[in-house]
Copies of this chain bind each other. A is one copy, B any other.
Amino acid sequence: MPLDPEIAARLKRDGDGLVPAIVQQHDTGEVLMLAWMDDEALHRTLTTGRATYWSRSRQEYWVKGDTSGHVQYVREVALDCDGDTLLVRVDQVGAACHTGDRTCFDADRLQAVQGPAAAPAER
């Protein structure tokens, strides 16, 4: 059974048939990683409860944690306003990053000028 046609009709894929998936720890809000899904990977993610991606480097489906044990149990999936990005909220077992870091964004903070704080009245 393929991806629900109503969802498939809303997806806007890139030239390779892929959509970026932002992966977030559902309770702490940590952004864990970015991965890519085609229709089949999204279908498997929605129906198995295990986050499943398309590996662009290996050109194969990749059930997160199958080799590392660092499984992602799916809590919620949302599509953005343009239909071209997914947000996958998961319960991450152990490290999300292949380096052993909890997230793929832990190691390389760039030097940035901080913008002024937004005025509370505008929030």
Structural contact, A33 and B80, CB atoms closer than 8 A: yes
26 sampled A-B residue pairs with Cβ under 8 A: A20-B20, A20-B34, A22-B34, A28-B29, A29-B29, A31-B31, A31-B87, A34-B85, A46-B110, A46-B113, A48-B115, A49-B114, A50-B115, A71-B115, A74-B115, A76-B109, A78-B106, A79-B105, A81-B97, A81-B99, A81-B101, A81-B104, A83-B108, A87-B105, A90-B115, A91-B117
- Nearest CB in chain B to that of A107: its residue: B81
Q: Which residues of A contact B (CB under 8 A)?
A: 4, 7, 10, 20, 22, 24, 28-31, 33-34, 45-50, 71-83, 85, 87, 90-94, 97-99, 101, 104-118, 122-123
